[in-house]
Structure 1
């Protein structure tokens, strides 16, 4: 379905929900948008240009999103919000992973004049700040060591399921669970015709589509998914009919939602809260083997009381999972401080 004109309210504006939905509305409803962007990009490529609308065309058919550093004080405000939340939740085990995008892991694919090194700089600033009781889990080394594998889509800003799997393995040691091996899954390619967000945003054409893989446990597991605000439920984390739509990445949980509640068959396990962006969508299925319940919150859309949610759900573990670009750009993260005032 095309995004409709969102209803305006001060609350929606402050949370960032209105601007996000309005951007999607313009993207969906602008007449022949893809045609005009594609025409401009073809002309730019004819002139030898390697960037369009904040997207580089790199080596081996990769489209890579340009990293834009934050304005002065923005990063500090987010760190302060996280610190305030940590101080208000002394009994909560908290973990944080900021995932590098292709701009830094695949820097060798960028055009000669481009640099993706800024992500690492800001990731290190956050890692080296006083995060209190929050354990920072660095995904850089594992992804860097495996960068010859397909860890990122060529036409989309997300990592692949393979990239998410490597990060899941890194989470295990810090979060006190034993991660599964790749041999424990049947890996299936569910589409080979994925043209992602960077393909649409840049307008670059004549690029090969991506494939999407899903990891199915060889020992089947029971999972129930509740989309709380929508009052809908499903018995799978994968919405297979979305593979026929333009944004095929929404095969994972039908895209982003304010609150998703996942119940697994591990009734005696721990309960986990994940505060995240869309990078987490392809990683969460790996975590269902280790927790009895997982509540998933996207602060861009969630306007509830996070502390009350954790108290009611008796949650003792929390994971903050974003890609670095979203973390730097997304103002909703500062709402963590609002939830403890």
Structure 2
């Protein structure tokens, strides 16, 4: 039965037979271990067999044909979690992995999933110092621009994280902040340090991203540092979308469906008209926030769909936002990861033009970009640690 199930699903799929999504791996598309790119034919060589590449590709291809794969993954993780929960009766840990080997932990008392704390290795601390020096050198090369750095906190490094107490020498926000803040360099550090209670209110329970409340609090800090403290936006209404439920990246990676979030957003009584260009193609403000689509009930029905990206927007190499009502003659360059997706429009209200560059999706250096966009007055980094201390950011700074 174990062998024939994937064989029959695979033959049906390759033969063009339409199968219900629950019977294939389609419903597992967003889940960790769901669908893996595999090409065993390309690796079907003597070298591929000798290296093990063919075996790995073949295993991935067969894995994509496991019947009812989403149910299989979630059931397997649930059974493992039952055993882990039972063993925890002896220890009373506040949190525990969602399955054996998972890098996501469940915190039942809070109905929350968190990423397990990262160790403060010499390598990661050295990377932080290197990135700091590269930002400092970049700032020195561009004395006409003001450079700001905002490091977004997350469940791995926030003070009071329940997984930090279970790790030896966990990496903390304070350690990362000390690397950047204590440097008498050419850029300005904007602290994102918050308490754990603030984290609970400002971050999703099943996703590593902040919710709109946490993002707006960060925007207020950035606006003050950029000199717009007296012009900061004031929300008039908090919108909460009861549908669809949002099971974020931590739920997808942790294979856990019992915890869920809701997408929230702010409305404003007065907000300028923005025009948008995405990767060189003209768009609209609806491409930044899909409020109309969600208001009409248009969203991905997969229970693990990435609604953070669906509601705000997915990651792009370059987004250009023009403020049609701006009196400013200055432009802003935001160097960001997905943390900026929900709140770059807030910053865009203070500038004539705002560029949002994601180094993970645009293969250009910041020097090259500033050469082509001479009106940029401010450069603002908005990233969490995993992406700020990453090779794509270093390439952008090179």
TM above 0.5, yes or no, is yes
- Measured in 2, the distance between the counterparts of 1:146 and 1:111 equals 16
Structure 2: how far apart are the matches of 1:94 and 1:312? 17
Pick from 221, 239, 264 the counterpart of residue 272 of structure 2.
Answer: 221
Contact kept? 1:263, 1:292, Cα under 8 Å = yes
Q: Go from structure 1 to structure 2 and tell me whether the alpha carbon gap of 1:263 and 1:250 turns closer, same or farther (over 3 Å shift).
A: same
For 1:87, the equivalent position in structure 2 comes to: 140
Q: CA deviation at 1:114?
A: 5.1
For residues 397 and 334 of structure 2, the distance between their equivalents in structure 1, rounded to whole angstroms, comes to 16
Distance 1:163 1:238 in 2: 17
Given that 1:187 and 1:216 are in contact with CA atoms closer than 8 Å, whether structure 2 keeps it comes out as yes
Aligned to 2:44: none
Q: Is the 8 A contact 1:259 1:302 kept in 2?
A: yes
Alpha-carbon offset, residue 318 of structure 1: 0.5
Q: How many angstroms does 1:56 deviate by?
A: 0.9
Give secondary structure in 1 for the equivalent of 2:352: strand
Flag the 1:275–1:108 CA change in 2: closer, same or farther, 3 A.
closer
Question: Distance between the aligned counterparts of 1:271 and 1:322, measured in 2?
Answer: 20
Residue of structure 1 equivalent to 2:257: 205
1:115–1:206 Cα change, 3 Å: farther
Deviation, structure 1 residue 5: 5.9
Report the alpha carbon displacement of residue 151 of structure 1 after superposing the two structures with TM: 0.7
Tell me whether 1:249 sits opposite 2:308 in the alignment.
yes
Matches within 5 A, 1:233-312: 233-236=283-286, 237-240=288-291, 241=293, 244-245=299-300, 246-251=305-310, 253-269=312-328, 270-312=330-372
The alpha carbon displacement at 1:216 in A equals: 1.9
Q: Which has the higher contact order (CA 8 A, sep 6+)?
A: 1
Taking the aligned partners of 2:169 and 2:274, their CA distance within structure 1 comes to: 38
Distance in structure 2 (CA, Å) of the matches to 1:57 and 1:164: 23
Tell me, yes or no, if the aligned pair for 1:177 and 1:290 is still in contact at 8 Å: yes
Which residue of the other structure, out of 51, 54, 75, is the alignment partner of 2:128?
75
Structure 1 residues 105 and 180, CA gap change in structure 2 (3 angstroms):
farther
Contact 2:156–2:164 (Cα < 8 Å) also in 1:
no
CA deviation string 1:212-242 (max 9, x = no partner): 111122113201111025x241233212447
Equivalent-residue separation in structure 2 for 1:65 and 1:188 (angstroms)? 27
Query: Do the aligned residues in 2 keep the contact of 1:103 with 1:116 (CA within 8 Å)?
Result: no
Residues 88-114 of structure 1 deviation map (CA, whole Å, 9 limit, x = unaligned)? 111110100101113444735549635
Residues 179 and 42 of structure 1: CA distance in aligned 2, closer, same or farther (over 3 Å): farther
Which residue in the other structure is 1:173 paired with?
Answer: 224
C-alpha change, 1:265 and 1:149, in structure 2 (3 Å) is: farther
Check conservation: 1:155, 1:197, Cα contact below 8 A: yes
Structure-to-structure mapping, 1:110-189, within 5 angstroms: 110=163, 113=166, 118-130=171-183, 132-140=185-193, 143-144=194-195, 147=198, 150-178=201-229, 183-189=234-240
Take 1:189 and 1:169, find their aligned partners in 2: how far apart are those partners? Answer: 21
Q: Please say if 1:39 is aligned against 2:85.
A: no
Query: What is the RMSD computed on CA atoms of the aligned residues?
Result: 3.0
Q: CA deviation at 1:57?
A: 0.5
TM-score, structure 1 as length reference: 0.80
Shift of 1:133: 1.4
Worse-matched range after superposition: 210-219 or 176-185 = 176-185
Write the deviation string for residues 56-82 of structure 1: whole angstroms up to 9, x where unpaired.
101311100123245613333322322
Flag the structure with larger Rg. 2
Question: Could you say if the C-alpha distance between residues 131 and 278 of structure 1 is closer, same or farther in structure 2, counting changes exceeding 3 Å?
Answer: farther
Q: What TM-score does the superposition give when structure 2 sets the normalisation length? A: 0.70
Taking the aligned partners of 1:119 and 1:297, their CA distance within structure 2 comes to: 27
Which residue of the partner structure matches residue 152 of structure 2?
Answer: 99
Alignment deviations for residues 163-204 of structure 1 (CA, whole Å, 9 cap, x no partner): 011111111221101266675332211344111111010112
- Cα distance in 1 for residues equivalent to 2:169 and 2:203: 15
